[in-house]
Amino acid sequence: MAWYGSCTALNRKALQRVVKTAQNITRTELPSMEDLYSQRLRKKALRVIKDPHHPSHKLFCLLPSGRQYRSIRTKTTRFRDSFIPQAIRLLNT
């Protein structure tokens, strides 16, 4: 799941097709890859925020309002799609 955030739309569609095929084979409802990724991203981000000794803890700084986290400016889509910026966007929604 670590690579899901930075894969292309074509790759995401192919992965979702695999999930859909697995649903047809097992005849059960499976969560989408997007749902799994967001759940695990949120869980990992909250673990980083709670641990002051984690190396990435200082990257999750609150804005003066105390309700949202400061967004990290990125110049490349590769960095924008990495863990920290995506986690901050997810936590701010």
Q: 53 lies in which domain range?
A: 4-92
How long a stretch of residues is the chain? 93
Low-confidence ranges of the chain (pLDDT < 50): none
| Residue 32 confidence (pLDDT) | 85
State the total domains in the chain: 1
Task: Dump pLDDT digits (tens) for 6-22.
Answer: 788 898 899 889 999 99
Question: What mean pLDDT value characterizes the chain?
Answer: 90
Closest CA to 9 of 38, 29, 34: 34
The pTM (predicted TM-score) of the whole model is: 0.79
- Locus of tokens 């859909």: 20
pLDDT of residue 2: 58
Phi, psi angles (nearest 5°) of residue 69: -90, 150
Rounded Cα gap, residues 44 and 23, in angstroms: 27
Q: Residue 87 CB: number of other CB atoms within 10 A?
A: 22
Beta bridge partners of 68: none
- Name residues whose C-beta falls within 8 Å of residue 34's C-beta, 6 or more positions apart in sequence: 12, 16
